[in-house]
Chains A and B, each alone.
Chain A
Amino acid sequence: MKKISVLDRILLLITGLLAAYQVAVGCDGLRTMPITSYTISFGVLLVAGLLMIILGFEVLDSPLVVIVSTVIPLSLSLGLVSERLVNFTIPYLVFVVIGFLAIVITRYAIPGKAATIVLAVVHGVAGMTIFLLPIILSLRGDAPGGFALVGVGGALIGVGGLLLSFLKGGKPILSRDTIMTVLPSLLLLMTVAFVAGFAFG
């Protein structure tokens, strides 16, 4: 397995610092629901980055990775919906809670095809929300153009999620070592896009 390098650690540290900035400063002035949602998503990203720095890529072998990689897109998309589509907050919150519980239950109680389908549906909806919502809002003029960068971050998180999910599922798109090589850069680019998108948006 590829060992984590000094460069990987530096990239992850910058990712963590950006995520910390977003938690501490980046969502000031918002209402409780978006602040809470963004704090969870960037907080999980921060702690996950720190753990990768400390423990290396082997941490990705933990069964908790699936749960962690679900929390980030779900809470981020909930933050976006509750910030920008206030009327949809409650229905989307219900979807997030049910989706999360469904992933946890199918993962541990009835693993197999059902778990994969649930994972794909929940991730798909959350991923498309993060990818499309900021771009649509920017194109319609309901948000500044820079907000579309959040959608770019959404695309990158989707790529990362796909690579990791297929790897965990035993059908890797790229080799494990290649994924580990690109993962720190991918996480950094994604976080830069998110932080810049929220700052400009």
Chain B
Amino acid sequence: MKILTIKFKQYWPLIKSLQTALLLTTGLAGYMSARCPVLNLPTVLALAGSLFLAISGSTVLNMWYDRDIDAKMPRTSKRPLPAGKITSKEALTFGLVISALGVGWALTMDLLYGVVVFAGLFFDVVVYSIWLKRRTAWSIVWGGISGGMPILAGRVLGLGQLDWVGITLSLAVLFWIPTHILTFSMRYHQDYQSAGVPTFPSTYGFQSTRVVIAVSSVIAALAMGVAAYGVGMTWGYLRLMIVLSGGLLVLAISSTVRPSERTNFGLFKYASLYMLSSMLLLFSEGIR
């Protein structure tokens, strides 16, 4: 039992629990947005379980592949792999097993749902991490596509098919991701530079990055609004979403016009809160 507890403590940081939880929330919100029988507890639990495993699996595989650059950055050097708490073989096995379990479970639930879940994992691990992350700052677009897959997967499972609302929800997440990641890469740009990872701030400069963040925030907010309208969200909830989107836009523009470390940090945190709130609104709309 003690060994299990120790192992759990070692493995848990590998899945980036907060990030996984946020992506899982988007998947559940996507499912709820389809207004299917949401009180079908076995399906909800299976959705949560399969997504949790697939998202965690892709995160572990990313950590495994990026262990060398993690070791070079002070912020990530204490992660289990660079710190030597877990061997790379252990992490790879763990990542592959839970990824296969997650995708396999998803495929048994619904073929199309399983394909979308697999696409998310593939874009995240193969296209983003292995192929592009060390080559181009534009890799975040592909990371963004994989980030938009859980919400699309949830919607697909609820509806049984792809529709424009699901794709728009996915686009909202895709365009939200630069706001989240670029503010982060500005905060830690020295780390990324020393590890040799190309980022927008190091490639195009801080001011251009801020403009990209502002533009992507506008598009994310618009896409979220259009998708919420497509879901048939009540006028009251739409008003609340407009308010929250307004906050995101004001912060993004403010960070461009009056840049500061504080505004940048505020935007990073607010963007997460914005996504969580939007998902909770979609969630509430589904069970209303």
Size of interface on A: residues with Cβ below 8 Å to B:
18
Residues from chain A with Cβ under 8 Å of B262 in the complex: 55, 58-59
Chain B residues near A42 (CB, 8 Å)? 243
A47 with B273: in contact, given A23-B239, A23-B240 (CB under 8 Å)?
Answer: no
Q: Is the CB of A24 within 8 A of B239?
A: yes
Cα distance A58–B237 in the bound complex, in angstroms: 30
A47–B270 alpha-carbon span in the complex (Å): 9
**B interface, how many residues as a size bin?**
10 to 19
Q: Is A50 an interface residue (CB 8 A)?
A: yes
Please determine whether B273 and A54 come into contact, CB atoms closer than 8 angstroms: yes
**CB-based contact B243/A43 at 8 Å:** yes
Chain B residue, CB-CB nearest to A19: B243
Is B226 an interface residue, CB under 8 A from the partner? no
B260 to chain A: closest residue by CB: A62
Task: Give Cα distance in the complex from A51 to B251, angstroms.
Answer: 10
Contact yes or no, A47 B246, CB < 8 A: yes
In Å, the complex CA distance between A87 and B246 comes to: 30
CB-nearest residue of chain B relative to A51?
A: B266
A–B complex contacts, Cβ < 8 Å, 29 sampled: A20-B240, A23-B236, A23-B239, A24-B236, A24-B237, A28-B236, A35-B239, A39-B242, A39-B243, A43-B239, A43-B242, A43-B246, A46-B247, A47-B247, A47-B250, A50-B247, A50-B270, A50-B273, A51-B247, A51-B251, A51-B266, A54-B265, A54-B266, A54-B269, A54-B273, A55-B269, A58-B262, A59-B262, A59-B266
- Identify the B interface with A (CB < 8 A): 235-237, 239-240, 242-244, 246-247, 250-251, 254, 262, 265-266, 269-270, 273
Q: 15 other contacts beyond A28-B236, A54-B269, with CB at 8 A cut-off?
A: A23-B240, A24-B239, A39-B239, A39-B243, A42-B243, A43-B242, A43-B246, A46-B247, A47-B244, A51-B247, A54-B266, A55-B262, A55-B265, A55-B269, A59-B266
